[in-house]
Amino acid sequence: MSLLALAPMLAVLLTGTAALLVRGWPRLQRGVSVLGTLGYAGAVGSLCWQVVSGGAVVYQVGGWRAPFGITLVADALSAFMLALTAIVAVYAVVFSVRFIDDRNQRVYYHPMFQFLLLGATGALLTGDLFNLFVWFEVMLMASYVFVAFYGNAQHTAAAVRYVVLNIIGGVLMLLGIGGLYATTGTLNMADMARVLADPGGVTGAVVGLSALIFVTFALKAGLVPFQFWVPSAYRAAPLPVVAVFAGATKKVGIYAIIRLYFTVFGNADLSVAVPGADAGSSIGFLAPVLVLMGVASILVGGLGAVTRDSLDELFAYSSIGQIGFIAVPIGIAAASTGSLRHLGVLAALVFAFHHAVTKGLLFLSTGVIRDAVGTTRLSRLGGLADSSPAFASVMLVGGLSLVGIPPLAGFFGKLFVFDAASRRFAVAAAGTETTAGAAAILLVLVVGAVLTILYSTRAWMGAFWGGQTEAVVRGRIDPVEVALLSTFAAVVLASGVGFEPIVQFADAAADAALDTDGYVDLVLGGERS
């Protein structure tokens, strides 16, 4: 059973290697890549099933018992993030086969796609801090290549910015990991959580050291002020890969924040005095940081998206803003204890799920437009609804989900995030605290949501309504791509209408994220007794 924890990584590793080996036969390579990704989805699916029905799975790589070797841990939190990664990955790879130029697909596109997934999957599954760094590197290395993939000046420039910022992030992460290893004496996350929870077992320095690592995660997630790379990288990379970037790899940064700061540091025996945070919270330091960064992301991303001409850049800015909607509830969770902490993490997870499928759909839809018209510039688009009403509906579903219209996936993301903020407000209003902070958070969320309406309507109307431009008249929308994406749109709709299993899964994931003792027992339990 424990091998199940390894299965997703094994699936992508084998697929990636096989895709390298058969690169002389392009059709075969595509088949391998698509089937391998489906196999990956299957592996993730059975892992999720096992985790939900039978409990978390732990695999000690090489048979070295924790905390000395490297441990893979598939609990509900990891499984939840893997599930949304798998959904986006399947659509992205199938779409790639249709969308990416045949000749370009042969330039190691498929092997690198699999290695990108491998990095994300490894980061979601590992229970070891240094190993997390390794899979981050794999993920980043593959993404560097994708940003530079098309090889023109614009793509190269974007790649240089991306590489430089992420190398800084990597150095900071190494410094932080080294420091934590030196202070706690372990790299195993469960073991680290155990050491930290020990009364007097640790110095306050871990707060600063963990902040160093936090920078890397924030950089990966694209939170302001670490978002600079996002717009140009998203414009440069192939659109199916951008769907994975926005849908999955950004979420790895979010996952790492939740995993490390809640599961590992959440029970630490530290007294942190931060205004606005519950005194009992050892991660209270993170609360103002995440809230401020989230708020800034919402504003920068939302405002930035309003007038962007090209759809991919518009959605890139939108991603910055939407990640802010994920960071704010995590910040609220960090400031609170008890049920509100749980609600904050749950809200972040539900929103992350929504953003993965919704933004995945929107970036792939942008790909359809690029394929048909040859541009994603709104100034050169118009009247696409006349060419394909079906495609107009598909992208309308994406846009409305982004706005948060019920019963689409995005609505529940919005509902939970606003719920966390409202309850934070209620807590402040009922107590002696000032409500100004909580009210300001609510206000920014509302402003951010209004900005989302502004840019979503502009993007959709600009592309689909109005007179047809010459480029649109000449273009032809690929019905196969539209058919594929209409099933994706159906996923966005179905995950809202049938939200019950998703909220249960997310709830289990939030439980797992906050259950430090359970996590420690899971990983070390057998060995300690």
Partner 1 sequence: MADLFVLALAIALPFLAAVFAPLLYRLLGETVGYVGAVVAAVCFALLLTQVGAEGTVSTPWIPSMDVAFRFTVDAFGLLFALLASGIGILIFAYAREYMHGKPDLGRFYMALLAFMGSILGVALAADLVALFLFWELTSVCSFVLIGYYTDDAESRYSARMAMVITVGGGLCLLVGILLIAVGAESVGLAPFDLAAILANRGAVADAMRAQGVFLPALALVAVAAAAKSAQVPLYVWLPGAMVAPTPVSAFLHSATMVKVGVYALGRLRPLFHGPEWMALVATLGMVTMTVGALLAVLATDIKELLAYSTASHLGLMVAAFGFESHYGAEAGAFHLFNHALFKATLFLVAGIVAHEAGTRAIDDLGGLREDLPITAGITVLAALSMAGIPPFNGFYSKEILFEAAWEAAVHGGGLLWLYPATAVFASVFTVLYSLRFLWLFFGPRPDGLGPVHRAPLGLLAPPAVLAVAVAAVSVVPGVAIDLLVDDAASATAVSHVEIHAGIPTSLSGPVVMSAITIAVGVAAFPFYDRIRASLERVRAATTLVHPTVGYDALLSATDRASGLVGRSVHNGLIRTYVWWVLLSACVLTVAGYATATTGLPTPAVAETPVALVLVLAVAVVAAVAVTTADSHVTGVLTLGILGFMVAIFYILASGADLALTQLVVETLLLLIFLLVLEELPAYYGEIDLLRAARDGALSVAVGATAFVSVLYAAPDGAGAPTPTASFFTNNAIPEGGGANIVNVILTDFRAFDTLGESIVIVLAALSVLVLLTMRDRGETQ
Which residues ranging from 286 to 315 are in contact with partner 1 (CB under 8 A)?
Answer: 289, 300, 303-308
Tell me the angle at which helices 499-514 and 76-99 cross, rounded to the nearest 10 degrees. 130
**Sign of the alpha-carbon dihedral angle for 194, 199, 201, 203:** positive
The minimum distance between CB 413 and partner 1, in angstroms, equals 12
Residue from the set 415, 471, 493, 494 that interacts with partner 1 by CB under 8 A: 415
Query: Shortest distance, CB of residue 67 to partner 1, whole angstroms?
Result: 7
Is position 483 an interface residue for partner 1 (rule: CB under 8 A)? no
The number of angstroms, rounded, from the C-alpha of 515 to the middle of its chain's C-alpha atoms is 22
- DSSP per position, 329-387: HHHHHHH--THHHHHHHHHHHHHHHHHHHHHHHHHHHHHHHHHHHS--BGGG---HHHH
Interface positions, 242-271, toward partner 1 (CB under 8 A): 270-271
Closer CB to partner 1, 217 or 519, in the complex: 217
The maximal CA–CA distance of the chain, rounded, in angstroms, is 73
The radius of gyration of the chain from alpha carbons, rounded to an integer in Å, stands at 22
Tell me the C-alpha distance between 345 and 281, whole Å. Answer: 14
Burial 383-419 (b: 16+ CB within 10 A, else e): bbbebbeebbebbbbbbbbbbbbeebbbbbbbbbbbb
Q: Please, which of residues 380-399 interact with partner 1 by CB under 8 A?
A: 383, 385, 389
Q: What residues pair up with 71 in beta bridges, in sequence order?
A: 60
- 418 part of the interface to partner 1, by CB under 8 A: yes
Least distance to partner 1, CB of residue 277, Å: 10
Contacts of partner 1 in 29-48 (CB under 8 A) = none
Residue 245 or 285 having the CB closest to partner 1: 285
For residue 148, state whether it binds partner 1 (rule: CB under 8 A). Answer: yes
CB of 470 to partner 1, least distance (A): 16
Distance between alpha carbon 458 and the CA centroid of its chain, in Å? 25
Choices 79-87, 357-365, 444-452, 510-518; region in contact with partner 1 by CB under 8 A: 444-452
CA 257/CA 349 separation, integer angstroms: 12
String of contacts with partner 1 for each residue 103-142, x by CB under 8 A:
xx--xx--xx--x--x---x-------xx--xx-xx--xx
Distances 511 to 4, 214, 504 between C-alpha atoms, Å: 21, 22, 10
Least distance (Å) between residue 218 CB and partner 1: 8
- Could you give the CA distance from residue 300 to residue 350 in angstroms, rounded to a whole number? 22
The residue from 2, 198, 504, 526 that contacts partner 1 (CB under 8 A) is: 504
Stretch that binds partner 1, among 90-98, 240-248, 418-426, 518-526 (CB under 8 A): 418-426
One residue of 10, 34, 272, 471 binding partner 1 per CB under 8 A: 272
Determine which residue in the list 38, 90, 201, 458 makes contact with partner 1, applying CB under 8 A: 458
Site for partner 1 in 222-241 (CB under 8 A): 225-226, 228-229, 231-232
For residues 162-191, which are near partner 1 according to CB under 8 A?
164-165, 168-169, 172, 175-176, 178-180, 182-183, 185-187
Between residues 28 and 454, which has the closer beta carbon with respect to partner 1?
454
Distance between CA atoms of 174 and 182, rounded to whole angstroms? 12
Binding partner 1 (rule: CB under 8 A), the pick from 53, 200, 430, 470 is 430
Return the range that interacts with partner 1 (CB under 8 A); candidates 44-52, 241-249, 358-366, 402-410: 402-410
Question: Which part of the chain contacts partner 1 (CB under 8 A), choosing from 254-262, 359-367, 411-419, 481-489?
Answer: 411-419
Site string for partner 1, 185-224 (x = CB under 8 A): xxx---------------xxxxxxxxxx-xx---x-----
- Contact between 407 and partner 1 (CB under 8 A)? yes
| Nearest CA among 211, 506, 102, 479 for reference residue 342 | 506
Kind plus residue range of the DSSP H or E element containing 249: none
Shortest Cβ 400–partner 1 spacing (Å): 6
- Judged by CB under 8 A, the chain residues 72 through 91 that form the site for partner 1 are none
Task: Report the nearest approach of partner 1 to the CB of residue 338 (Å).
Answer: 14
Q: How far apart are the first and last CA of the chain?
A: 21
User: Is residue 58 classed as helix, strand or coil in its secondary structure?
Assistant: strand
224/362 with CB nearer partner 1: 224
Helix (H) or strand (E) holding 193: helix 189-197
Task: Using CB under 8 A, count the residues that bind partner 1.
Answer: 126
CB of 182 to partner 1, least distance (A): 4
Q: Are the beta carbons of 466 and 382 closer than 8 angstroms?
A: yes
| Peptide linkage before 329 cis (omega within 30 of 0) | no
Structure tokens at 453: 């309406």
Which one of residues 14, 28, 45, 435 is an interface residue with partner 1 (CB under 8 A)?
A: 435
338 binds partner 1 (CB under 8 A): no
Min CB(457)–partner 1 separation in Å? 5
- Name the one residue in this structure whose structure tokens are 């190494």: 174
User: Please, are residues 301 and 317 in contact by the beta-carbon 8 Å criterion?
Assistant: yes
Given 1, 457, 487, 528, the residue binding partner 1 (CB under 8 A) = 457
67: preceding bond cis by omega (within 30 degrees)? yes
